[in-house]
Structure 1
């Protein structure tokens, strides 16, 4: 059962990240365009992409927490690396939720942020993913 949960967790995580890597790229195009027709098309694409990947985010959490439940509380207490991973994952959930606000903001005001701001915003999930993968694979001991 644990291996199935792990496989499903990874599958949905990859699908989720594909979306949250591409969505801010659409935001860059949106912020840098001056064409109202382009803004309208990008607003549709952004909304559809965000709603498409949100179930993947939810399922990533479902199978991740299912694995935590199977491992048990004692294992969790002793796994300091997992505490850091969970903080990063919660931050990514906040990032994902913030994307809903950005989609609405860009629809109302295409120049809500600069293209440069969105380029930096796009790096957040990349850095989080690097840290999460390193923690999950190396399982460093803290203490």
Structure 2
């Protein structure tokens, strides 16, 4: 394999930063839902609405978009030497990222439901819901680092 170019390494660094930001938001937003569901007063309800909106629109969306934009370039540049499109692990990873996108949109749907009714679901539901991206993270990291041959 040829040595990666400086541009490739910069895009890779930006990709990792974007993924970390996206996952941080994917972890934190449902945690806010836990506290929102436990809130009892209107002031807390309003505070959580603001926090959830800013996190979803101001961090989750830009981080997800940056993840996809940088991923596009990494796959395009790296496929010439890495042959990603020939590897099953790559398609499994893409499928898991697709599940994260669905989770992202479900978080947005739930955010709107919580604006109307803070007790739409119990705090216990949100605690379990909060664990889904963790499981996907484990699988994606293992696929990308180990690159298992099936």
> Normalised by the size of structure 2, how large is the TM-score?
0.89
- Which position in structure 2 is the counterpart of 1:38? 44
Structure 1: segments with no counterpart, 5+ residues: none
Tell me, yes or no, if structure 1 residue 2 matches structure 2 residue 8. Answer: yes
The CA RMSD measured in Å over matched residues stands at 1.4
Secondary structure, counterpart of 1:72 in structure 2: helix
User: Structure 2 regions of 5+ residues with no counterpart?
Assistant: 1-6
Rounded Cα–Cα distance in structure 2 between residues aligned with 1:102 and 1:127: 20
Give the superposition deviation at 1:7. 1.1
Matches of 1:65 and 1:130, distance apart in 2: 22
Structure 1 runs of 4+ aligned residues shifted over 4 Å read none
Alignment of 1:105-124 (within 5 A): 105-124=113-132
TM-fit CA distance, 1:4: 1.8
Aligned with residue 51 of structure 1, among 49, 57, 64: 57
User: Which one of 23, 27, 31 corresponds to residue 17 of structure 1?
Assistant: 23
Aligned-partner Cα distance in 2 for 1:137–1:27 = 32
